[in-house]
Amino acid sequence: MNQQTSAIASDATTEPLLQRFADVRAFSEQLVSRLSPDDLMVQSMPDASPAKWHLAHTTWFFETFLLSEFLSDYQPFAPEFRHVFNSYYKGIGKHPVRGMRGTFSRPTLDRVLAYRAHVNAGMQKLLANGLNEQAKELVVIGLNHEQQHQELIVTDLKHGFWSQPLRPNLVDRQPEKTKAPLGSLRWTSFAGGQVEIGHSGPDFSFDNELPRHALLLQPFRLANRLTTNREYLEFIHSDGYRRPELWLSEGWDTVNQQAWEAPLYWEQVDEGWQVFTASGTRPLELDEPVCHVSFFEADAFARWAGARLPLEGEWEHAAESCAMEGNFAESGTFHPAAPPSSKEGLQQMFGDVWQWTASAYLGYPGFHPATGAVGEYNGKFMCNQFVLRGGSCATPQSHIRASYRNFFPPQARWQFMGIRLAADAR
Angstrom distance (rounded) from CA 311 to CA 316: 9
More confident call, 200 vs 174: 200
Asked whether 275 and 281 are in contact (CB, 8 A), the reply is yes
- CATH topology for 3-162 is Four Helix Bundle (Hemerythrin (Met), subunit A) (1.20.120)
CA–CA separation, 334 vs 352, rounded Å? 8
Percent of residues, the chain, with pLDDT higher than 90: 85
How does pLDDT run across 367-422, given as a tens digit for each residue? 998 777 777 788 889 999 999 999 999 999 999 999 999 999 999 999 999 999 99
| Residue 195, SS3 per DSSP | strand
> How does pLDDT run across 117-170, given as a tens digit for each residue?
999 999 999 999 889 999 999 999 999 999 999 999 999 999 999 999 999 999
As beta bridge partners, residue 269 has 272
Which one-letter amino acid corresponds to residue 297? E
Kindly give the pairing relationship between strand 417-418 and strand 354-360: parallel
- Domain 187-424 listed as CATH 3.30.70.1400: no
Determine the Cα–Cα distance for residues 414 and 426; give it in Å rounded to an integer. Answer: 35
Give CA separation, 289 vs 285, 351, 386, 393, in Å: 9, 11, 20, 11
pLDDT at 180: 66
Residue ranges covered by each domain of the chain: 3-162, 187-424
- Calculate Rg over the CA atoms of the chain: 22
Alpha helix locations (H) across 207-270? 229-237, 249-258
Measured distance CA(251)–CA(306) in Å, rounded: 18
The contacts of residue 83 (CB under 8 Å, 6+ apart) are 93, 94, 95, 96
Query: Does 50 score more than 70 pLDDT?
Result: yes
Spatial separation of the C-alpha atoms in residues 390 and 419, rounded to whole Å: 11
